Amino acid sequence: MGKSALTELSPDFLVGSIIDRKTEIERVIQERENALREAPAGTLRIALKGQYLQYYQRVFSSDILGTYLKRKQDSIVSALAQKDYDCKLICELKAEIKALDRMLDEYRPEKIDEIYKSLYDVRKPLIRPAMLPDEDYVKQWLSVEYEKKAFEENAPDHFTANGERVRSKSEILIADALSRHNIPYRYEYPIHIHGIGTVHPDFTCLNVRKRKAYVWEHNGMMSDSDYADYAIKKIEKYTLSGYFPGENLILSFETDSRPLSSRIIECNINNYLMTV
């Protein structure tokens, strides 16, 4: 069966986007309303006289023509024009907030999940749901089979709290932090990078709320000049292959004198993997 159009969408992401939009609109409204309190009285009338524009300030609605504004009063002209624009803008933005509030009140994505969850287990494999519940989506994401990199014969033994073997103590810190926050991840999941070929990033992590995967590369030997040169080259190749730091690529670093900080790990997890 092919994928449904809704399979990759997260309701939390949509709700979060609406809330972010409301917050931004409210900020703009507050900013413009503050500006209106400082705006000059009245409205602007613009008249064309010959080839030139003339500007008039109408303080009262009964004052049809208004008071002529001289060149030295250009700041008042601009302020009145801005005032008229801001009034219309505020009115439209408030209408948008009402529309967004109605959508949030009426939006019930959980009803879609309930249809699928209510099915008997024997029926679920026969169905192509429009939206997989988070737990099923994560289960499906984690079920992908892949071949991990082999460990060298004399490689040190480093194991996470879950008993998974990794290549360094820093990777233990990252893996254990991901597990504590219930962040699904694949260790050394292979991807293709132009100019390098198949690479095995340290972690490929899933932001469940966004249903978006992030590659996490930890660069743990930056004190070694050869390692640092290769790390920079690899990051450049990642960028050319569509992996951008902060967008779908998480980078962390350490040197001999500055080991990886658990605070940095937590910041990366909170900023990229737990946000809506």
In tens, the pLDDT along 203-241 reads 999 999 888 999 999 999 999 999 999 999 999 999 999
3-class state of residue 195 by DSSP:
coil
User: What pLDDT sits at residue 1?
Assistant: 40
Asked if residue 10 lies in contact with residue 46, where contact means CB atoms within 8 angstroms, the answer is no
Question: Which DSSP symbol is given to 144?
Answer: -
Cα–Cα dist 168/155, whole Å: 10
Q: What is the pLDDT of residue 131?
A: 77
Would the pLDDT of 12 be above 90?
no
For residue range 32-90, what is the model confidence (pLDDT) as tens digits?
A: 999 999 999 999 999 998 989 999 999 998 889 999 999 889 999 999 999 999 999 99
Q: Taking CA 56 as the corner, what is the angle to CA 55 and CA 58, rounded to the nearest 5 degrees?
A: 150
Instruction: Give me the chain's average pLDDT, please.
Output: 92
Amino acid at the residue 148:
K
Query: Alpha helices, DSSP H only, in 54-168?
Result: 74-106, 110-117, 134-142
Q: Return d(Cα 47, Cα 67) in angstroms, integer.
A: 12
pLDDT, residue 4, reads 46
- Per domain, the residue ranges of the chain are 11-106, 134-273
- Residue found by looking up tokens 């219930």 in the block: 182
User: Do residues 165 and 151 make contact, with C-beta atoms less than 8 angstroms apart?
Assistant: yes
Give the Cα separation of 254 and 212 in Å (integer). Answer: 26
The C-alpha angle with vertex 117 and arms to 114 and 122, in degrees rounded to 5, equals 150
Report yes or no: 177 and 162 within 8 Å, Cβ to Cβ.
no
pLDDT at 182: 97
pLDDT at res. 9: 54
The Cβ of residue 137 has, within 10 Å, a number of other Cβ atoms equal to 19
Strands 203-207, 165-166: pairing is unpaired
- pLDDT on residue 75: 93
In the chain, the percentage of residues whose pLDDT exceeds 70 is: 96
| Helix (H) or strand (E) segment spanning residue 47 | strand 43-49
pTM (2 d.p.): 0.67
